[in-house]
Amino acid sequence: MEESKSLNKSRRDFIRQSLLLGTAATLGSLPFSAIAAAKTKRLTILHTNDVHSHIEPFPMDGSRNQGLGGVARRSALINRIRQEEKSVLLLDSGDMFQGTPYFNMFGGKVELELMSKLGYEAGTFGNHEFDNGLEGLAKHLNKAHFPFLTANYDFTGTVLENRTKAYHVIKKNGLRIGLTGVGIDVTGLVDPNNHKGMAYLDPIPVVNRIAKMLKEDKKCDLVICLSHLGYKYEDNQVDDLKLAAACRHVDIILGGHTHTFLHEPTRVRNLDGREVWVNQMGFAGIRLGRLDVVFNQATGAKNIMAQHYTIGMNENQLV
């Protein structure tokens, strides 16, 4: 009952706004084609973090997460969403490794092969990626058919030099999606021998510089930062919430490390007062996160206002 009422309301709004749009178009003497061209585009972002070598579902042993997760199920779900949606982006925020004997025995090869099969399009490094040292990670990195974005790690002079990227632009359905990635300071988290030679840079200036470049020079419509910094710390250690607040051009932060199960994304105001969405999906592949982003041609505030309602209506049907 509630639902049909709200649907009726949005349909009324839709009609009213369509009329408004028509009026605006006439007043602004815009050619009809401009309105037709101002169609919306939609991007579905799917994401995981801290999967920790959980290839199989948790065993049915009475533990809290028994029967949950499993990469083969995740694959089936992702395939289904890809059939339903035109543009799907699949991302991971690190700590793919360590947690089951699959990692101890095969050193990360299985995890990377499966992520490539699932069609992951970018990832970042968590601290556990270094558990077998930089060499251990480099050894299996060619199994990943997608880039790792590690903007605040400097691997110069190590075996990982030039094996990762600071940013990556993905074009989908005419959209330009700018991606970057940052990791946690591994000092104290990773054995010193296992991260010898890599340098950690403060993620805030790094992300700001890259995100500005992605928006202004690379003309990206959306900037996503993959993060393994952690969701929130009480002290002054940098986390996703602090990063979001200290940025200008980042739209979405997909986080990890703290194994935080966010039931819905946290919205943080950035330096310009705009909302940044921060999300995290617990751990072990128990959940797959999804954000649907709708894009409008930025031709003028009035048009955007009007168009939002038409999408809103479509959304009601889709949800």
Nearer to another protein, 141 or 312 (CB): 312
Type of residue numbered 130: F
Nearer to another protein, 189 or 206 (CB): 189
Nearer to another protein, 123 or 178 (CB): 178
- Least Cβ distance, residue 166 to another protein (angstroms): 21
- Least Cβ distance, residue 121 to another protein (angstroms): 17
Crossing angle of the two packed helices 2-27 and 301-318, in degrees rounded to 10: 150
Strand locations in 133-198 (E): 153-154, 167-172, 175-183
- Least Cβ distance, residue 292 to another protein (angstroms): 4
* Burial call 157-183: b when 16+ CB within 10 Å, e when fewer: ebebeebbebbbebebeebbbbbbbbb
Nearer to another protein, 131 or 185 (CB): 131
Residue 63: count other Cβ atoms within 10 Å of its Cβ: 10
- Least Cβ distance, residue 310 to another protein (angstroms): 12
Type of residue numbered 80: R
Please name every residue paired with 267 in a beta bridge, in sequence order, or none if there are none.
277
The Cα 187–Cα 249 span in angstroms is 28
DSSP 53: T
Nearer to another protein, 151 or 222 (CB): 222
- Least Cβ distance, residue 101 to another protein (angstroms): 5
Nearer to another protein, 182 or 293 (CB): 293
Q: What are phi and psi of 87, to 5 degrees?
A: -120, 115
- Least Cβ distance, residue 220 to another protein (angstroms): 7
